[in-house]
Structures are given as structure tokens and as C-alpha cells.
């Protein structure tokens, strides 16, 4: 009996020791040296990621600004080239006009007699012809000498209003189309080239108008109409035929 009591006491003592040990293990506090280190590592990692993203954003922003500057410079150069081509073409038109007037005075011949051989011109009196010529010359001088495109547009439109069936009406329509093309107003450029081709299909400016209208159609995305017009110009013996062929070969 005595032995039995001793065994029970020993068993209870072991159990109490076990419970005490378990409580100590469960209640042991987390080391203060471990927790802050983990939080600090996470914070440092997140901060580094944010800094890296911000740096990449700055780099991309700088590259976009550089590309934008390059595009603006290219647009400026293209605009200058377009203006130079228009100036050269106007100068050529003036030279041809000056060399083509046989029976008129030098003032008269300088106003673009490219329409003198037109089959679409109605006969007019000498006084009316002189007034029309003066009106057309004033409008052209705004392009050739003063380089005032907006004023030239207004003057050419006024000329067409005053002389809708005059001998220089087709020329005025053509130059309106050219000016609007340089200004990148494709809709207005197409309108004037189309009107010239409707009103004066046999005029000496008609092949040039067809070529420029083909370019406008191509720039507008109407490739089928552009290709058809280019092929029509190539079939002619005009100065625009080779230009049309080169343009067709490059773009189609």
C-alpha cells in the first residue's frame, strides 16, 4: 500500500512538471531582436522597388521627350521641304510664263500663259482680258513675291468669282489646290484639283492636277483611286508623267 502511494505521488509530480514545462514554452516571449529585423528587411525591399520603378519612369519620360523633340524637328524639316518645292514650282511656272508670251507685253507674259493654249477657254474682249490678267497677276504675286498664302487664297478665290469662265480660271484652281496641299488641308486641296478636272479636263494643267490629286488620295488612304489617277497621268506625254511613274513605283 505504501509503495502504491509513492508511485501515485511520483506520477503526479511528473505530470505537474510536464504541465509547468509546457506553460513555460508556450508563454515564452518572442525575441525582440528578431521581429524588428524582419520588418526592417521588408520595408527596405519595398523602398528599393519603389525607387527602381521611379527611376525607370524618369528614364522613360526622358526618352519620350527626346523622341518628341526628334519628331517635331522632322515635321519642321518636312514643312520646309514642302515650302521649298512649292517655291521652286512657282518659280518654274513664272519662267515658263515669261518665255511663252509671243504677242503680249512682258507684263502680260509674266502672269502664266499656260492657259493660252487651252481648249476650254471662251473668247473675251481685249479690255476684259486685260482686267482678268491684272487680277490673276495680283493673286500670283502674293505667292511669288510676298509669300502670303492666306492672302493668295483670298485673291485667287476672288479672281474665280469675278472670272468664273476666264482664261486663267484653271490656273487659279490649280494653285489653290497646291496651296492647300502645302498647308496639309487635304480635303480642300482635293476639292480644287477635282474642280479643275471637271471644268477643264483638256487644260494644260490637268495632268499636273491629276498627279497632285493622286497624291492627296494616297495621303487620305484611298489607294485605289490614287493608283488609277497615277496610271492615267503616266499614259500622257506631260511633264507630270515621269513624276507619276516614280511616285507609283515608290508607293505601290
pLDDT for 52 beyond 90: no
Task: Provide the domain limits for residue 212.
Answer: 205-252
Between these two residues, 190 and 23, which has the higher pLDDT value? 190
pLDDT of 15 reads 43
pLDDT of 163 reads 95
- Asked whether 221 and 244 are in contact (CB, 8 A), the reply is no
Compute the chain's Rg from CA coordinates. Answer: 43
Give ∠ CA 118-114-117 in degrees, rounded to 5: 30
- Asked whether 136 and 111 are in contact (CB, 8 A), the reply is yes
Please give the tally of structural domains in the chain: 2
pLDDT of 81 reads 73
Domain shared by 173 and 209, yes or no? no
Domain shared by 111 and 168, yes or no? yes
Summarize pLDDT for 170-217 with one digit per residue, the tens.
999 999 999 999 999 999 999 999 999 999 999 988 999 999 999 999
**Measuring CA to CA, which residue among 131, 190, 138, 140 is closest to residue 163?**
131
> 70 in a domain, yes or no?
no
> 101 in a domain, yes or no?
yes
> 50 in a domain, yes or no?
no
Summarize pLDDT for 55-85 with one digit per residue, the tens.
567 656 655 665 676 667 677 777 777 777 7
pLDDT for 89 beyond 80: no
Mean pLDDT of 5-9: 43
Domain shared by 178 and 238, yes or no? no
Summarize pLDDT for 95-145 with one digit per residue, the tens.
665 554 333 333 333 334 444 444 444 454 566 788 998 999 899 889 878
Residue 30: pLDDT band (50, 70, 90) is: very low
> 48 in a domain, yes or no?
no
Q: At what angle do helices 240-251 and 206-220 cross, to 10 degrees?
A: 20
Domain shared by 98 and 146, yes or no? yes
> 177 in a domain, yes or no?
yes
Q: What percent of the chain has pLDDT over 90?
A: 40
pLDDT for 224 beyond 50: yes
Mean pLDDT of 216-231: 96
- Cell numbers placing 1: 500500500
- Cell numbers placing 216: 492627296
3-state percent breakdown (helix, strand, coil) of the chain, nearest 5: 80, 0, 20
Between these two residues, 59 and 146, which has the higher pLDDT value? 146
pLDDT of 11 reads 45
Contacts of 213 (CB under 8 A, 6+ apart): 177, 190, 193, 194, 197, 229
pLDDT of 50 reads 73
Q: 23-62 burial, b if ≥16 CB within 10 A, otherwise e?
A: eeeeeeeeeeeeeeeeeeeeeeeeeeeeeeeeeeeeeeee
C-alpha distances out from residue 154 to 149, 150, 161, 176, Å: 9, 6, 11, 9
Domain shared by 128 and 224, yes or no? no
pLDDT of 174 reads 92
Domain shared by 172 and 248, yes or no? no
**Residue that has been written with the C-alpha cell 512657282 in this structure:** 90
> 137 in a domain, yes or no?
yes
Domain shared by 87 and 166, yes or no? yes
What's the farthest any 2 CA atoms get from each other in the chain? Answer: 156
C-alpha distances out from residue 181 to 44, 49, 76, 80, 220, Å: 60, 52, 16, 13, 12
Mean pLDDT taken over the chain: 73
Summarize pLDDT for 34-50 with one digit per residue, the tens.
445 555 555 566 666 77
Domain shared by 111 and 158, yes or no? yes
Summarize pLDDT for 196-205 with one digit per residue, the tens.
999 999 998 8
Domain shared by 157 and 112, yes or no? yes
Amino acid at each position: 500500500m505504501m509503495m502504491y502511494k509513492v508511485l501515485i505521488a511520483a506520477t503526479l509530480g511528473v505530470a505537474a512538471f510536464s504541465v509547468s514545462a509546457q506553460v513555460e514554452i508556450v508563454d515564452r516571449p518572442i525575441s525582440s531582436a528578431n521581429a524588428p529585423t524582419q520588418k526592417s528587411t521588408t520595408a527596405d525591399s519595398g523602398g528599393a522597388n519603389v525607387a527602381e520603378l521611379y527611376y525607370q519612369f524618369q528614364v522613360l519620360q526622358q526618352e519620350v521627350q527626346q523622341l518628341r523633340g526628334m519628331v517635331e524637328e522632322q515635321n519642321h524639316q518636312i514643312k520646309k521641304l514642302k515650302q521649298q518645292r512649292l517655291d521652286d514650282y512657282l518659280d518654274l511656272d513664272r519662267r515658263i510664263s515669261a518665255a511663252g508670251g509671243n504677242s503680249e507685253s512682258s507684263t502680260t507674259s509674266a502672269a502664266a500663259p499656260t492657259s493660252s493654249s487651252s481648249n476650254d477657254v471662251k473668247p473675251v474682249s481685249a479690255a476684259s482680258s486685260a482686267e482678268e490678267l491684272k487680277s490673276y497677276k495680283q493673286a500670283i504675286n502674293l505667292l511669288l513675291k510676298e509669300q502670303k498664302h492666306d492672302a493668295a487664297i483670298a485673291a485667287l478665290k476672288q479672281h474665280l468669282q469675278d472670272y468664273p469662265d476666264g482664261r486663267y480660271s484653271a490656273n487659279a484652281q490649280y494653285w489653290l489646290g497646291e496651296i492647300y496641299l502645302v498647308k496639309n488641308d487635304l480635303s480642300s486641296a482635293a476639292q480644287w484639283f477635282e474642280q479643275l478636272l471637271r471644268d477643264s479636263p483638256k487644260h494644260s494643267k490637268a495632268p499636273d492636277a491629276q498627279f497632285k490629286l493622286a497624291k492627296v488620295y494616297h495621303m487620305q488612304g484611298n489607294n485605289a483611286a490614287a493608283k488609277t489617277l497615277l496610271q492615267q497621268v503616266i499614259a500622257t506625254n506631260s511633264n507630270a508623267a515621269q513624276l507619276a511613274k516614280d511616285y507609283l513605283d515608290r508607293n505601290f
